[in-house]
């Protein structure tokens, strides 16, 4: 997808209030994972902080046939988080809050961008262990 200036203006207006970058060097950074093999081509990266903001982004993209690439820690090794055909990058990196801990149910409620190691560090002092323990746990 190639965006005209008018379409880009409309996108920025629709996403007003949500962090957005479209300068080439930042898009290059956010638009790829660890594969480092494909050339990044993206209209920009958006950084919602709430599920309501995610909904706003997706509603606009759905209405305007804009493809979206979700992005977490960008340590994937199968190019799933690489934007190559003008997609919008939807980074979950700002949604990194641990929302609630219920010791009686042994349940923790987290946002979609919480990093594994942060969750381990949160639970260990409480006597619990988050067992997803990848080598990339510090960023994924």
Ligand X SMILES: Cc1cc2nc3c(=O)[nH]c(=O)nc-3n(C[C@H](O)[C@H](O)[C@H](O)COP(=O)(O)OP(=O)(O)OC[C@H]3O[C@@H](n4cnc5c(N)ncnc54)[C@H](O)[C@@H]3O)c2cc1C
Strand partners, 70: 90
- CA 21, 54, 6, 82 torsion-angle sign: positive
Q: In this chain, which of 66, 92, 108, 110 binds ligand X, going by CB under 6 A? A: 92
Structure tokens that stand for 43 in this block: 């209209």
Nearest to 88 by CA among 46, 32, 36, 33: 46
Q: Is 27 in the site for ligand X (CB under 6 A)?
A: no
State the minimum distance, in angstroms, from the CB of residue 6 to ligand X.
28
State the minimum distance, in angstroms, from the CB of residue 20 to ligand X.
18
Q: In this chain, which of 9, 80, 103, 138 binds ligand X, going by CB under 6 A? A: 80
Q: In this chain, which of 3, 34, 60, 101 binds ligand X, going by CB under 6 A? A: 34
Nearest to 121 by CA among 93, 98, 94: 98
Q: Is 70 in the site for ligand X (CB under 6 A)?
A: yes
Give CA–CA dist 53/40, Å, rounded.
Answer: 24
Smaller CB separation from ligand X, 2 or 77:
77
To which residue do tokens 């709430």 refer? Answer: 50
Residues of this chain that interact with ligand X (CB under 6 A) are 33-34, 69-77, 80-81, 92, 112, 134-136, 140
């Amino acid at each position: 997808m190639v965006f005209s200036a008018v379409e880009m203006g409309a996108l920025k207006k629709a996403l007003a209030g949500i962090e957005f970058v479209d300068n080439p060097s930042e898009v290059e950074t956010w638009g790829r994972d660890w594969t480092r093999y494909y050339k990044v081509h993206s209209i920009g990266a958006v950084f919602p902080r709430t599920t309501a903001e995610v909904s706003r982004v997706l509603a606009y993209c759905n209405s305007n046939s804009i493809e979206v690439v979700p992005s977490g820690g960008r340590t994937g090794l199968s190019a799933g988080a690489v934007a190559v055909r003008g997609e919008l990058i939807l980074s979950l990196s700002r949604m990194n809050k641990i929302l609630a801990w219920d010791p009686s149910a042994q349940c923790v409620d987290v946002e979609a961008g919480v990093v594994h190691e942060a969750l381990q560090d949160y639970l260990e002092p409480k006597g619990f262990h988050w067992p997803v323990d990848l080598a990339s746990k510090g960023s994924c």
